[in-house]
Amino acid sequence: MHFFSQSFSYEHPWAHVVVGMWHKYPNPKCTHVVSIDVVDRTIDPTTGIIRTERILGCKQKAPTWIVKLFGGSEDAFVREISFVDPVRQTASITSVNLSLSQFATCLERIQYTPAPGNRTSFTQTAEIQARMALWRSAADGLERWLVQRFEQNAHLGKLGFMDVLRALEERQAAPGAV
């Protein structure tokens, strides 16, 4: 498991930053995010907390060898859950990759809270964890690929050898052959 974390503050009030959350994309600096969909949204009438579940569509950033070896597509999807708490004035966002999640998961957590001087503090942590299944799947994928290669080669080997045998036969049948 690997960790990543950073924190800083935006020079904007908290409410402004949280409104901005819904306007972040499309963004010329983050062109890898190509689509955003809300798949669930609830408003808790008692606390006022808005929970939103979204799916972000991203251009695949996986190394091409992974895509080639294990399949997958050009698109990668990320699930994002956000909680906006208007009373406690916090916004927290958790994101996890859906695509290639059988190999590794990246769980990102972000929090926006008001900071002195009409600023907003931002903290971000990420846990990146390869699954044990990675090795099994990698081995499976590799094995499947090797089996296919082997079958292909075996097929070509058979065809090649048949040619040799046929040529030999023709030569032997020809008059004057040794």
| Interacting residue ranges for other proteins, rule: CB under 8 A | 1, 3, 5, 14-15, 18-19, 22-23, 25-26, 33-39, 41, 43-51, 53, 55, 57, 75, 77, 79, 81, 83-87, 89-90, 92, 94, 96, 98-99, 101, 107, 109, 111, 113, 123, 125, 127
Which class for 91: exposed (0-12), middle (13-18), buried (19 or more C-beta within 10 A)? buried
Q: Which residue in 86, 117, 125, 83 sits closest to 10, CA to CA?
A: 117
Kindly state the helix (H) or strand (E) to which residue 9 belongs, with its residue range.
strand 2-10
> On the CB side of 71, how many CA atoms lie within 13 Å of its CA?
7
Least separation in angstroms between residue 69's CB and other proteins is 18
- Tell me, what amino acid is at 72? G
Choose between 90 and 137: whose C-beta lies nearer to other proteins.
90
Choose between 13 and 141: whose C-beta lies nearer to other proteins.
13
Choose between 94 and 137: whose C-beta lies nearer to other proteins.
94
